[in-house]
Chain A
Amino acid sequence: MNSVILQTATRALVALILVFSIYMLLRGHNQPGGGFIAGLIAAAGFALFAMAWGIAAARRALRVEPGKLAAIGVLLAGISGAVAALLGQAPFTGQWLFIGATEGDKGLPISTILVFDIGVYLSVLGAVVALVFALEEDA
């Protein structure tokens, strides 16, 4: 599709969509959101980009092969689960670190759970985008 309006709007929109997807990913543990939803949002962003600018441009924008992205996601999730196993607990037990925690305030929580959710995000994003790209290239 070669529409100036769509292309111009897409530039701003896709950036917003991607930022929004990361926002959804990070808030997921406490409010509606999470890796799966955020991955779908980001995938929708890239699908939109691919429609406006073409597959080649979308591939360049993604920088990484979508299949590889999905594989990295699965790997990341697996590693986050293995951490607990290495520490002698049941695999996929969450490991938490509260940076700067004080009495009454838990500070900045960092956890393997977050890494796991990022893995879910990447694998969903990669898988859906891989399908979209393949179908559009075939078209």
Chain B
Amino acid sequence: MTGHRDTEDAEPRQTLIALVAPLVPAAITLLLLTQLPRVMAGEVLTFGWAWVPSLGISANFFVDGLSSLFALLISGIGVFVAIYAGSYLSGHPHLRRFYLYLLLFMIGMLGLVMAADLITLFVFWELTTISSYLLIGFNHSNSAARRSALQALLITALGGLCLLAGLILLGITADTFDLREILTLGEQVRASTLYVPILILVLLGAFTKSAQLPFHFWLPNAMAAPTPVSAYLHSATMVKAGIYLLARLHPVLAYTEAWQWTLTLVGAATAVVAAVLALRQTDLKLKLAYTTVVALGTVTMFLGAEASVAIAAAVTFILVHSFYKAALFMLVGIIDHRTGTRELDQLGGLRSAMPITCFVAAAAALSMAGFPPFLGFIGKELKYEGALAIASEPLLVAGAAVFANALMVAVAGTVVLKPFFGQRRPADIPVTEAPPGLWLGPLVLSGLGLAFGVATPLVADTLIQPAVTAILGRPEVVKMKLWHGINLPLILSLLTFTLGILVYLAQRPIRAALAAFFSRLPLSGDRAWDRLLEGLKTLAAVQTNLLQHGVMRRYLTVIFATVAAALGFVLLRAGEIPLDIDWPQLTIKEWAALALTLAGALVAATARAPLAAICALGALGVGLALIYLFFGAPDVAITQLLVETLFLVLVATTLHRLPVFSGAHNPRFRPLDALLALFVGALVTVSILAVMQTPFDATTSEYFERTAVPEAYGRNIVNVILVDFRALDTFGEIVVVFTAAIAAATLIGHRLRRKKS
């Protein structure tokens, strides 16, 4: 019904929101650009406010070189994604919802890269996880989209929990949650015994988020999201959150063998495996998704290093990759949008029909393949230079980099050459050029890839160098040039191109061989994940059936047996308890109340008629209320009496439905139940007597007695505690009462409606 209304009056408002939405990231980008000179000068901009001062947690934010680079990428690419989405999802009934999620995600990312407090960082980290869940599952009527969204959510949230534990340990080790302070305490953290647990937990968080082996499979599955989401989250921003975390904590956690080897090996393995998997795909979007995993692996590998040139390579590649990958995703979206397919075999010769798209795709792909003078070329040269500068395992890193880059060249070739050149496909439908809203974003992004390549020194000064300085925590001068002369990196580059072209030419047989190989693998990560979830569900079902059987008497038996076991254990451990019982001198009315209580209990336990048992319980309650009254607790006594009364009313209304009246009741003697009851009773009596023997600490009650009148203006201490001293507790209690009553009334009402119908 609401959906219907949405489509009716959606049109004008939709155009409005598609026009307004890009303005938000645009404003943020401009603001960040105006601050860029200060960041370049090494200044750190801070803002924020206190959040939980008692725990030393603050909502503080800071912008240094690294934050500035990421924030610019997030907001800058956000502008073009927002424009693109307006065209791509034009007329979609939930466009407004889409923009809401997108902005939510952007806020999460910006908060994450600017957070100056570990807990604040984590909160924004989770915000990106949740908003990405909403975005991946945006086409919620599609079950594959729902599955992928849930998979991404579970994996990244699981990593998020590990990260939270890691950050808390880090906070404890450094004795502060202030990130900027922690960044200066690297040596102290690394020397701590908690260093290895911190490292493992933080890396689990970063690796799940940035889709590193063996958690890589969620990212290609997340391609179920609409293309603007893939372009934004799964190439330029969200998956880089893990990378950001690694870069951010580099000064604290790096400089150890554990860091170096884990990052290098995991990154290299991810890059190589994902490159092979990318080659195997025939769906353009999936192919790009796997190349994103390659890029993430490569950056991780370089962040394992300490050499400044390796870090510069990582930072440059983050920048390069964000530009060309976001552009390429949007281009694949255009092809999909205009032709209705993303399958390589069904596409070809679109060059003449879509000249602008073809031109933009070529520019983005050239940057991806790393041809001069694109920024991609510089990124690649830096990678090789960085790889060779890694002292410990240059061969491994350089080898992995060459291998992954060669396959990237092949994939870049496929992505451009296959759909746009050769025989025209699909031949049966007319294909026309996309509207400007679609190609504007990719055009600007790939244009930037070219411009930044030509204006290399400018990029190095404004973006790369401040970021590298921030990661290494010492002023660094990064030299980047298009032409270095003939050196080893250039030779490696030539080798990459040769290899890549060879792979491109031989891709059909290679793909066939890979398909044959993968069909023989027993288990993929994706399948393993499904099995894990199935196992978890089975376990949940088994334990629920075991524990929640719905038989009241068995619940009570379990509860009382547990109480008896716990009390018995404590009493046994306490050893011998001197119980010196002095029989109190009770007055006759006190004896009478006691007798009433005991008689009520006895009759309730032995009565054959249920009505008699209920009345006896009432008598027991009144006896208890009298005892409270005699010993100076009138409020408790009144409450007890009222609860007894209402309880009786409630029982009376349900009485006719109890099994007693339906004939299922069989009031026979149950020796085991009696034994358990007596045992629990005896244990409780002994423990109460033992408690009475310990001296009573009257500090709290004296405080309340002293302050009730002067500070809370009340003489009834019980009430003053309830509504003033402990008002927050009472508030929680009435919320519980309210929730429980509403839930119960709803359940009963639901039964009633079902009975009527």
Contact = CB atoms under 8 A, between A and B. Distances in A.
B634 A32 contact: yes
Given A34-B635, A37-B639, A43-B646, A116 B723 contact: yes
Q: Size range of the interface on A?
A: 35 or more
A124 B737 CA distance: 7
Contacts, number: 149
Given A73-B734, A96-B713, A116-B723, A139 B653 contact: yes
A116 B722 CA distance: 10
Interface string A110-128: 0101001101100110111
Contacts of A35: 722-723
Given A29-B719, A81-B731, A109-B713, A70 B724 contact: no
Interface in A92-139: 92, 94, 96, 106, 109, 111, 113, 116-117, 119-120, 123-124, 126-128, 130-139
Contact of A130 (B638, B642, B713, B741): B741
A70 B642 CA distance: 19
A118 to B, nearest CB: 10
A82 B721 CA distance: 18
Contact of A30 (B638, B714, B741): B714
Contacts of A40: 639, 642-643, 646
Nearest to A70: B738
A132 B653 contact: yes
A31 interface: yes
Contacts of A96: 713
Contact of B741 (A36, A94, A131): A131
B618 to A, nearest CB: 14
B744 A134 contact: yes
A41 interface: yes
Interface stretch (B96-104, B244-252, B342-350, B747-755): B747-755
A127 B723 contact: no
Nearest to B645: A44
Contacts of A135: 650, 653-654, 748
A20 B374 CA distance: 85
A124 B642 contact: no
A11 to B, nearest CB: 19
B533 interface: no
A21 B563 CA distance: 37
A37 to B, nearest CB: 5
Nearest to B755: A138
Contacts of B713: 29, 94, 96, 106, 109, 111
A71 interface: yes
B718 to A, nearest CB: 7
Given A37-B635, A37-B642, A123-B737, A113 B724 contact: yes
A29 B738 contact: no
A73 B715 CA distance: 24
Contacts of A70: 737-738, 741-742
A22 interface: no
Contacts of B748: 134-135, 137-138
B654 A123 contact: no
B572 interface: no
Interface in B648-703: 649-650, 653-654, 656-657
A78 interface: yes
Contact of A36 (B639, B649, B714): B639
A77 interface: yes
B52 interface: no
Please indicate which of the listed interface residues A35, A44, A113, A133 has the most CB atoms of chain B within 10 Å of its own CB. A113
Interface in A66-92: 66-67, 70-71, 73-74, 77-78, 81, 91-92
Contacts of A34: 635, 716, 718-719, 722-723
B192 interface: no
Interface string A17-51: 00000000000111111111100110110010001
A33 B719 contact: yes
Given A134-B745, A138-B748, A124 B635 contact: no
B16 interface: no
Nearest to A92: B727
A130 B742 CA distance: 7
Contacts of A117: 719, 723
Contact of A120 (B646, B720, B730, B752): B730
Contacts of A137: 748-749, 752
B728 interface: yes
Given A70-B738, A124-B737, A134-B745, A37 B650 contact: no
A126 B737 CA distance: 10
Contacts of B737: 70, 123-124, 127
A133 to B, nearest CB: 7
B27 interface: no
A123 B734 contact: yes
A35 B751 CA distance: 32
Given A109-B713, A132-B650, A41 B634 contact: no
B502 interface: no
A32 B716 contact: yes
A94 B725 CA distance: 9
A134 B716 contact: no
A92 B731 contact: yes
Given A132-B653, A137-B752, A73 B716 contact: no
Contacts of B752: 134, 137-138
Nearest to A137: B752
Contact of A29 (B653, B716, B727, B742): B716
B740 interface: yes
B715 A30 contact: yes
Contacts of A44: 642, 645-646, 649
Contacts of B645: 44
B542 interface: no
Interface of B: 634-635, 638-639, 642-643, 645-646, 649-650, 653-654, 656-657, 712-716, 718-720, 722-724, 727-728, 730-731, 734-735, 737-738, 740-742, 744-745, 748-749, 751-752
Interface of A: 28-37, 40-41, 43-44, 47, 51, 66-67, 70-71, 73-74, 77-78, 81, 91-92, 94, 96, 106, 109, 111, 113, 116-117, 119-120, 123-124, 126-128, 130-139
25 contacts: A28-B716, A29-B716, A29-B719, A30-B715, A30-B716, A35-B722, A37-B635, A40-B643, A47-B646, A47-B649, A67-B745, A74-B735, A77-B731, A92-B728, A113-B714, A113-B727, A117-B723, A120-B723, A126-B738, A127-B740, A130-B742, A130-B745, A131-B745, A134-B752, A139-B653
The 5 closest A-B pairs by CB, nearest first: A127-B741, A92-B727, A40-B642, A32-B634, A29-B714
Given A70-B737, A113-B712, A126-B738, 7 more contacts: A33-B635, A67-B741, A67-B745, A77-B734, A92-B727, A116-B727, A133-B745
